[in-house]
Amino acid sequence: MRKIPFLIFLLPFFVNAQLVQPQRFETELNVYEEGYEAMTADENGIIIYRSKNEYDKKGGQLWEFVMLDTTLSVAWEKQLYIERDLIYKGYDYSMGSFYFLFQKYTGNSKDLKLMQMRASTGDTLRYTIKNLVPLELTEFEVTDGAALLGGYYNHEPVVIHFGFRDSKTKVLPGIFGTRTELVQLKVDDNSITVLVSSKTYDKRNTLTIKKYNVDGEYLNTFTLEPDLDKGLIFGRIAITEGDNDLIAGTYGGKRSEYSRGLFLGLVDKENKQTIQYFNYADFENFFNYMRAGRKERVSNRIDRKKIKGKKIKFNYRLLVHNIIRQGDTYIMLGEAFYPKYSSSSFYTGGYSNAPYGGYGHGRNNYDYAPMNFAGYRYTHAVVAGFNSKGKMLWDNSFEIEDVVSFTLDQFVHASVTDEGIVLLYLYDNQIRSKIIEEAEVVEGKRFDNLKLTFEDDKVNDNSSDKIGGLEKWYGNTYVAFGTQRIKNLKDAGVGLNRRVFYVNKVQYR
C-alpha cells in the first residue's frame, strides 16, 4: 500500500551517459526528531510530511506538510492538527491531489478518515469512510470518483469502495468469504480489477481475477487453471490491447510457496486462457548475480540434467512488482529474496541480546536462543521482456548487494525507452546503477555518491540510515530522499555535525 523505494530507469543508447543531481533540498533535524515521508506528484512537484510530538488543547497532533516544486524550491508549507486517536495508514496521489488515509484505533468506531490535499495550493477536504468491517488494511488506491481500500477481516480478504460524490461505502461483492488472499488491487479510469490467490478444485495454488466497474458493481470472475503438476504463487496484471488480461508471476509445485520460474498467462475476452512457463534454469542471465565459480557450478548442473533429459528444479522466493509496456513488449520486474535468521547465547536469568529479547531456560550461565527473524536479504532483480502472445524475448538481472529489510518493499524500479533500460537502487548513500539493452549489458554496475549541500560535507560512515528512498518522479527524473548524519570540518558557518532530511533530484543525461 505504501509506495516506496527502488528504481529503474532508461536512457539513450550511449555508454557515456551520466547521472546528475542538479538540485538538493535539506532541512536540519535535531537528535530526536523523526524524518519525513515523501510522495511524488509528477510535474506538480513532491510533498514531504511528518507528524510531530506537539498537541493542541483538544489533543490533536501537529502534522507538517512541505510542497517542493520541480527545482526543489518550497512552493508552500502547511501545518494541521489531526486527531490523536488516528493511525496513519497510507497514501496515494491522483489527479492533482494527495490523499492521506487514517484509521481510528480507540472506542467502538473503526471508521477511516481520508484527507484530500490539493498539490497546487494545499487546500484540504476531509471524508469519513464508514468502516463496515474492522479492516486490517493492506491496499489503498484512488481513482476518479472513488477510493478503494483492501485488507482482511477475520483473515478473509475485503475490498471497500468509497464514492466521493455520494460519500457512500460498500463492500465489493464476491471477495469476502472466498478463503483467498489479496494479491493486487488495480484501478484505472474504466474498471477495478482485484487479483487474489486461490485454490483449484484439487487444491493447487492459482490466481483469480475479479472485475468491477468504477462504481464497484460486479462484472465477472475468471480463475486461471495451471498445469496439473504446477501451482501459481504470485502475480501482477496488465491490460493488453483488445481488453485481454496479461498476468505475469511466479509458479512452483502444486502447493509450494517456493517458485521454480516465471509464468505468463493471457486471458482473452471469451475467457480462454493460455499459460506459458519459464523455468529459471532456462534463463540466460538469471544467475549472473552469483560469483563466477558458483555460477559455473550451477550452469554445469543444468547442462548435466539437460543431457539426461531432466530439468533441474530451483526454489526461489521472488516478488513480481510491476509490468511495464514498451510498444509491443511487456517488461516484468521482480526481486529475489530470502529470510534471514539469527541466534545468540544469553544469560538465563535476564534479558536476551537476541532481537526482540527473550528469557533462557538453561541451568546456568548461558543458554542457546531459538532462531530469530533478522530480515529479508535481497539477492538480485530479474527483468524479462515478453511479447503480447506470451513469448519470452529476453531476460537480464541486476545484483542487489547488502540490502536487508524487515519489510518486503520494492528496491528496484524500471523505466523504459526505445534505447535501453537503466536499473538503479539507493543504498548506503549511493545510487547503484546498471544499464542494459535487453539481454546485453551496456554499462556495468556503477556507484554514484549522493550529492551533498556543501563541498566539504562528509556523510558519517557510522550512521544507521543505510536505506533511503528512490522513486520515479516525472519523465526520466527521479527523486532520492532520506536522513543523513553529516560532518563538516572546513566550511565556515556550517555546523561540525548535523542530522538532516534530504531530497535529491536525480537525472541521467
Q: What is residue 75's three-state secondary structure?
A: strand
Residue 482 has pLDDT above 80, yes or no: yes
**In this predicted model, which residue has the larger pLDDT, 348 or 172?**
172
Q: How many whole angstroms separate alpha carbon 117 and alpha carbon 488?
A: 38
Among 467, 481, 470, 338, smallest CA distance to 414 is for: 470
User: Which H or E run contains 298?
Assistant: helix 292-307
**CATH number for the domain whose boundaries are 7-508:** 2.130.10.10
Q: How many whole angstroms separate alpha carbon 416 and alpha carbon 13?
A: 12
Q: How many whole angstroms separate alpha carbon 247 and alpha carbon 233?
A: 12
**In this predicted model, which residue has the larger pLDDT, 186 or 105?**
186
CB–CB of 447/432 below 8 Å? yes
Q: How many whole angstroms separate alpha carbon 8 and alpha carbon 440?
A: 16
pLDDT for the residue numbered 463? 63
Cell of 235: 502475480
Residue 244 has pLDDT above 60, yes or no: yes
pLDDT for the residue numbered 72? 97
User: Which H or E run contains 211?
Assistant: strand 205-212
Q: How many whole angstroms separate alpha carbon 403 and alpha carbon 375?
A: 10
Contacts of 331 (CB under 8 A, 6+ apart): 323, 324, 325, 383, 384, 385, 386, 414, 416, 421
pLDDT, tens only, 290-347: 888 888 888 888 888 877 777 788 889 999 988 888 888 888 999 999 998 876 544 3
Name residue 253's amino acid: G
Distances (CA, A) of 333 to 132, 286, 423: 36, 12, 10
What does the pLDDT average to over 337-364? 46
pLDDT for the residue numbered 236? 92
Q: What is residue 306's three-state secondary structure?
A: helix
pLDDT, tens only, 369-421: 456 888 999 999 999 999 888 889 999 999 998 889 888 888 998 777 666 78
Going by pLDDT thresholds of 50, 70 and 90, the confidence category of residue 362 is: very low
pLDDT for the residue numbered 416? 72
Going by pLDDT thresholds of 50, 70 and 90, the confidence category of residue 149 is: very high
**In this predicted model, which residue has the larger pLDDT, 11 or 235?**
235
CB–CB of 412/333 below 8 Å? yes
pLDDT for the residue numbered 492? 78
Contacts of 59 (CB under 8 A, 6+ apart): 83, 84
Q: How many whole angstroms separate alpha carbon 260 and alpha carbon 317?
A: 9
CB–CB of 97/42 below 8 Å? no
What does the pLDDT average to over 131-154? 88
Q: How many whole angstroms separate alpha carbon 188 and alpha carbon 122?
A: 25
- Residue 265 CB: number of other CB atoms within 10 A? 25
Going by pLDDT thresholds of 50, 70 and 90, the confidence category of residue 108 is: low
Going by pLDDT thresholds of 50, 70 and 90, the confidence category of residue 367 is: very low
Give the E-state strand segments of 56-123 in sequence order. 61-68, 74-82, 86-94, 97-104, 112-118
The burial class, CB within 10 Å (0-12 / 13-18 / 19+), for 448 is middle
Sign of the CA dihedral running 403, 407, 408, 411? negative
- Residue 397 CB: number of other CB atoms within 10 A? 24
pLDDT for the residue numbered 417? 63
Distances (CA, A) of 373 to 268, 342, 360, 393: 43, 6, 18, 38
Going by pLDDT thresholds of 50, 70 and 90, the confidence category of residue 110 is: confident
**In this predicted model, which residue has the larger pLDDT, 242 or 454?**
454
What does the pLDDT average to over 114-123? 96
Q: How many whole angstroms separate alpha carbon 68 and alpha carbon 119?
A: 10
pLDDT for the residue numbered 419? 64
Residue 356 has pLDDT above 60, yes or no: no
Q: In the chain, where are the structural domains located?
A: 7-508
pTM of the model: 0.85
Residue 91 has pLDDT above 50, yes or no: yes
Q: What is residue 243's three-state secondary structure?
A: helix
Cell of 89: 495508514
pLDDT for the residue numbered 313? 83
